[in-house]
Structure 1
Amino acid sequence: MVSRLSIVMIIVNMILGVLIPVVIMVFFKKKYKACIKSFLMGCVTMLLFAMVLEQLVHIVVLGSEIGTVIQGNIWLYALYGSLMAGLFEETGRLLTMRYVLKKEHCNTYNALMYGAGHGGFEMFMVLTIGMLNNLVYSVMINLGQAQTLLEPLDDSARSTLQTAFDTLIQTPSWYFILSPVERLAAITAQIGLSVTVWHAAVGKTIKGRLYILAIVLHAVLDGVAVLAAKSGISLILVEVYVWLIAAGIAFIARNVWKKAKKDDLYA
């Protein structure tokens, strides 16, 4: 049986996946007069570049002989995955900010609003949509209907789903608290990366060094997270690593913003 507290925590996560991005959006709108269009374009860019285009490339690459080698080595897999995430997301960010949000350059706080949309959509997909399966599985397990899902599957799929069931049953309820904690770190990093790329995108020419910096920072965040998670260390320590890197990204973004303001290079 999946504990009732675990089910409650799953539902709370699903609610937070919607509530947190909306609260951040409203805050930036009221405090900084940032444009909601920036938030929405952050959502669209995240969907298109990270969840469609990047995934299509993964299907091709990881389905090849090279992909077999990559997946067989955790270091190569972390390097490949983190660089691809950085490349696709930061390229999408750059193109959207420079060309789609050109009229929004007059308010630099739209960088924050864009980051809230980009990271907020990711939070929604992980916490709300991602936890939906957990909720359905938990309810069916507790109703004794798990076999209904398992029976029509082949051996491989059945084994995978059974592992998911076992994980839900065995996971302590308090572990679910770590999901929104990790997502808050991620959205902090996404806002920081958005600020960095914003200052690469605005102006007469694209500042390539800031664009590359964003790709590297993104890759470091994702790569360390993957390696830490696969190392067998406690989830709490993994979250500490993620938060430290997210804080570092936010600090760098703050300095980029301050330097741009000091040099009067951007609107």
Structure 2
Amino acid sequence: MVSTATIISMFVPIVVSIGLFVGLILVYRKKTGIAVKPVVIGALGFVVATQILEKVLHVVVITNFPNYSDHPWLFGLYGGMAAGLFEELARFLLFIWLLKKFHDYKGGISFGIGWGGIEAVLLVLMTVVPNLIFAFMINSGTFESSLAGSIPADQLAGMKETIVNQGVSFYLLGSLERFFAIFLQIVFSLFVLLAVVKKKFSYVVYAILIHAAIDFPLAFYQTGHLKNLWVIEIYMAIIGLLSFVFIKKARNILPHTTR
């Protein structure tokens, strides 16, 4: 059985992710102003770059290398570089093709909120909502009977064990991770915009490498070689705090325009 407390905690990251997206728009509307077009383009850019194009590559790679979890170092290198390439190049192309009139601090912030906000919402909905549905099925006794025909018995048992054993802290910490991750996406958006403004593509290369370096350690948790979720959350918190500093500094580096 999945405890009532765990089921309630599953709603927390859903509320937090949606609240963050909406809250950042409201906060920055007062602080710097919000440009609607970059928010929309940023959100659509994330979906196309990561949920379509990058996932096509992942399907090909994982299909040909099914034992990737046995090699966390290589998996981390591949995963980090793939994320960096698809996301940072997509940001760069969107800024120079579709957002030519938004090469200012407000445009960068707006784009980052759109990109990071939709990431927070989609990733939570795709991971937590299925777990929530499965939790209700487990508690009602219909989990095995409903999924037996579509999922092998050993995988079904593993899924059930995972959902039952994931406690309240798992979902609460996940909410904290989303909080810091969204600010990191704003940082990358501002950094790539800086590359566009200063006409230095080398900054995009730096963004790709930094993105890959940040994502690399996460592979050890994803492949099961690192069990302690607290290590990941502390790591993300440090990255998040550094992100706050950069966002503040970027205000004095990027141009400001009034529309």
Q: Deviations over 1:3-35 (max 9, x none)?
A: 111111112222222221111112222321220
Select the residue among 231, 238, 257 that pairs with 1:244: 238
- Give SS of 1:103's match: coil
Q: Name whichever of 26-35 and 88-97 sits farther off.
A: 26-35
Partner Cα distance (2:66, 2:228) in 1 = 28
Counterpart in the other structure of 2:102: 104
Q: Does 1:166 align with 2:164?
A: no
Q: Does 1:73 align with 2:67?
A: no
Counterpart in the other structure of 2:82: 84
Equivalent position amino acid for 1:246 in 2 = G
Q: Deviations over 1:112-143 (max 9, x none)?
A: 11111111111111223321101100111111
Partner Cα distance (1:168, 1:239) in 2 = 20
- More relative contact order, 1 or 2 (CA 8 Å, 6+ apart): 2
RMSD: 2.2
Paired residues of 1:29 and 1:36 also in contact (CA < 8 A): no
Counterpart in the other structure of 1:217: 210
Counterpart in the other structure of 1:17: 17
Partner Cα distance (2:184, 2:82) in 1 = 17
Seen in structure 2, the aligned counterparts of structure 1 residues 199 and 5 have a Cα distance that, compared at 3 Å, is same
Paired residues of 1:140 and 1:146 also in contact (CA < 8 A): yes
Equivalent position amino acid for 2:185 in 1 = Q
Seen in structure 2, the aligned counterparts of structure 1 residues 154 and 44 have a Cα distance that, compared at 3 Å, is closer
Structure-to-structure mapping, 1:180-195, within 5 angstroms: 180-195=175-190
Partner Cα distance (1:170, 1:180) in 2 = 18
Partner Cα distance (1:69, 1:234) in 2 = 22
Structure-to-structure mapping, 1:38-187, within 5 angstroms: 38-64=38-64, 67=65, 72-105=70-103, 107-155=104-152, 158-187=153-182
TM-score (ref. length: structure 2)? 0.90
Paired residues of 2:180 and 2:236 also in contact (CA < 8 A): yes
Partner Cα distance (1:15, 1:154) in 2 = 30
Paired residues of 1:225 and 1:241 also in contact (CA < 8 A): no
Equivalent position amino acid for 2:190 in 1 = V
Partner Cα distance (2:49, 2:193) in 1 = 17
Seen in structure 2, the aligned counterparts of structure 1 residues 71 and 129 have a Cα distance that, compared at 3 Å, is closer
Seen in structure 2, the aligned counterparts of structure 1 residues 140 and 68 have a Cα distance that, compared at 3 Å, is closer
- Give SS of 2:216's match: helix
Partner Cα distance (2:163, 2:151) in 1 = 21
Q: Does 1:232 align with 2:209?
A: no
Partner Cα distance (1:97, 1:243) in 2 = 28
Larger helix proportion of the pair: 1
Q: Unaligned 5+ residue runs, structure 2? A: none
| Percent pairwise identity | 26
Paired residues of 2:144 and 2:156 also in contact (CA < 8 A): no
Partner Cα distance (1:188, 1:211) in 2 = 18
Partner Cα distance (2:101, 2:21) in 1 = 23
Q: Unaligned 5+ residue runs, structure 1? A: none
Shift of 1:159: 2.2
Shift of 1:51: 0.9
Shift of 1:164: 1.8
Seen in structure 2, the aligned counterparts of structure 1 residues 70 and 143 have a Cα distance that, compared at 3 Å, is closer
Equivalent position amino acid for 2:210 in 1 = L
- Give SS of 1:49's match: helix
Q: Deviations over 1:63-104 (max 9, x none)?
A: 33xx35755411001000000000000011111112211112
Seen in structure 2, the aligned counterparts of structure 1 residues 112 and 63 have a Cα distance that, compared at 3 Å, is same
Paired residues of 2:115 and 2:185 also in contact (CA < 8 A): yes
Seen in structure 2, the aligned counterparts of structure 1 residues 74 and 129 have a Cα distance that, compared at 3 Å, is closer
Shift of 1:219: 0.8
Paired residues of 2:88 and 2:192 also in contact (CA < 8 A): yes
Partner Cα distance (1:168, 1:61) in 2 = 27
